[in-house]
Amino acid sequence: MKTKYSIWQWFVNIILLVIGVFCILPFILLFISSVTDEQSIVRNGYSFFPEAYSLSAYRYLWHDAERIFRAYGITIVITVIGTVVSLIITSLLAYPLSRKDMPMNKFWSFFVFFTMLINGGLVPTYLVYTQLFDFKNTLLALIVPGLLTNAFYVMLMRTFFATSIPAPVIESAKMDGAGEFKTFVQIVLPLSLPILATVGLFQTIHYWNDWFNGMIYVTDSKLFSLQNLLNRILLDIQFLTSSNFAGNQSDSVANIPTETVRMAMAVVGIIPILIAYPFFQKFFVKGLTIGAVKG
């Protein structure tokens, strides 16, 4: 038995190792490119083994440290607030939908799901947030539009609640005299840590990587988030390479940073998420069973 297990473990680990290498190599290339000498990129392209190394890209970013740290600050604020609020709203909405005894729960599920299929488009959404609510150039514009990211996580969480929390558990809690809310907080949530951690992680990534809301709702550079800053530059380059507008100007119309700087910016944007990841992994715990809660 024991040896059989070891073979299985070896098999599993080797496959995952191969997949892992496949995933991490491009990231390593990204990192190495960011510390490669600009000249050698222009001449030889990106390489795992560049001719010459240089920290000039990071030094270039350091010149801008004030702005970058500020953007980090904005990003952290919107990510933390956004994720927490979003988790609260999402789970509160998903739980009743998951209850089969809840009246009209199919209707409400459809009501929620429908928003994933049809949307009014950018212009009307923009009008709602800028005319009805005065969100233009505020932090709220970076938080509120992303709270339910397309209702996707509501549907996911609803399914999770419905499948992994047996109705008898809820029933018995109610027998003991617990109200709905108390049942939800004391029984359902603790049993749902993995899905809460998953949605929390994805919301964190979503807020961290969101540049679109920043692009349309924010013109005040004090409120630029990190990815907004980064994406403006990347997209500007892309625009310049594909628009017939730029070509007609005798000067380049934007200050295009060098390739290594673009790579360094990408690295700077990813690292913090990697550091935050283990925090969510803590909640990926097996054995949080019904028995455990009951006992």
Partner 1 sequence: MNKKSKMMQSGLALIVALGMLLAGCGAKNEGGATDSKTSPTTKNGKDLAPYEVTMAFFGSEQKDLQAVQDEMNKILKEKINTTVKLTPISISAWQQQTNLMLAGNEKIDLMFTSAGFNYGTQVAKGQLVQLDDLVEKYGSGIKKALEPYQLSAAKINGKSYAIPAVKDMASDYGILMRKDLVDKYKIDLSKIKSINDLDAVFQTIKDNEPNMVPLVAKNPGTGPFYAGYVLYDSLSGGIGVLPDYDNNMKVVNWYETAQYADQLNVLRKWYQSGYLLKDASTSKQDGRELVKNGKAFAYFSNLKPDSDVEASRKSGKEMTVVRLTPAYATTDMITSMMWSVPKNSEDPDRAMMVLNLLYSDKQLYNLFAWGIEGKHYVKKSENVIDYPAGVDITNTGYNFGTPYMFGNQFLSYTWSTGDPDIWKKTDQFNKGAKKSKALGFIFDVEKVKTEMAAVNNVLTEYVVGLETGTLDPAENLPKFIAKLKSAGIDNIISEKQKQLDEWAKTQK
Partner 2 sequence: MTTIPAGKRIGKYRKYSALFLMMLPGILYIVINNYLPMFGVVIAFKDFNYSKGIFGSDWIGFENFEYLFKTEDALLITRNTILYNVVFIFLNLVIALGVAILLNEVKKRFLSQLYQSVILLPYLISMVIVGYLVFAMLSLETGFVNNTILPMLGIQEISWYSESKYWPYILTLVHIWKSAGYLCVIYLAAIIGIDPEYYEAATIDGASKWQQIKSITIPLIIPVITVMTLLQIGRIFYSDFGLFYQVPLNAGALQSTTNVIDTYVYRALMTLGDVGMSSAAGLYQSFVGFVLVLLSNYIVRKKNSDNALF
Q: Which residues bind partner 1 (CB under 8 A)?
A: 38-39, 42-43, 60, 63, 66-67, 104, 122-124, 126-128, 130-132, 136, 215-216, 219, 221, 224, 232-233, 235-256, 258-259
- Residue type at position 191: L
State the Cα–Cα distance between residues 135 and 132, nearest whole angstrom: 9
Q: Please, which residue, 66 or 286, has the CB nearer to partner 2?
A: 286
Q: Which of 75, 79, 83, 109 binds partner 2 (CB under 8 A)?
A: 109
Residues 31-50 that bind partner 2 (CB under 8 A): 33, 44-48
What is the DSSP annotation of the chain? -HHHHHHHHHHHHHHHHHHHHHHHHHHHHHHHHHTB-HHHHHHH-S-SS-S-B--HHHHHHHHTHHHHHHHHHHHHHHHHHHHHHHHHHHHHHHHHHH-TTSTTHHHHHHHHHHHHH----HHHHHHIIIIIS--TTSTHHHHGGGTTGGGHHHHHHHHHHHHHS-HHHHHHHHHTT--HHHHIIIIIHHHTHHHHHHHHHHHHHHHHH--HHHHHH---GGG--HHHHHHHHHHHHHHHHH-HHHHTSSS-SS-PPPHHHHHHHHHHHHHHHHHHHHHHHTT--TT--HHHHH-
Judged by CB under 8 A, the stretch of 18-26, 54-62, 68-76, 248-256 that binds partner 2 is: 18-26
Binding-site residue total for partner 2 (CB under 8 A)? 111
Q: Please, which residue, 1 or 66, has the CB nearer to partner 2?
A: 1
CB of residue 24 vs partner 2: minimum separation in angstroms?
5
What, of partner 1, partner 2, none, does residue 111 touch, CB below 5 to 8 Å by kind? partner 2
Q: Please, which residue, 66 or 278, has the CB nearer to partner 2?
A: 278
What, of partner 1, partner 2, none, does residue 284 touch, CB below 5 to 8 Å by kind? partner 2
Q: Please, which residue, 240 or 276, has the CB nearer to partner 1?
A: 240
Q: Please, which residue, 3 or 255, has the CB nearer to partner 1?
A: 255
Judged by CB under 8 A, the stretch of 8-16, 52-60, 68-76, 247-255 that binds partner 2 is: 8-16
**197 binds partner 2 per the rule CB under 8 A:** yes
What, of partner 2, partner 1, none, does residue 90 touch, CB below 5 to 8 Å by kind? partner 2
Residues 226-285 that bind partner 2 (CB under 8 A): 227, 230-231, 234-235, 238, 241-244, 259, 262-263, 266, 269-270, 273-274, 277-278, 281, 284-285
First to last CA, the chain: 31
State the Cα–Cα distance between residues 231 and 245, nearest whole angstrom: 20
Q: Please, which residue, 35 or 169, has the CB nearer to partner 1?
A: 35
**123 binds partner 2 per the rule CB under 8 A:** yes
CA dihedral 207, 210, 212, 216 (to 10 degrees): 50
What, of partner 1, partner 2, none, does residue 272 touch, CB below 5 to 8 Å by kind? none
CB of residue 2 vs partner 2: minimum separation in angstroms?
12
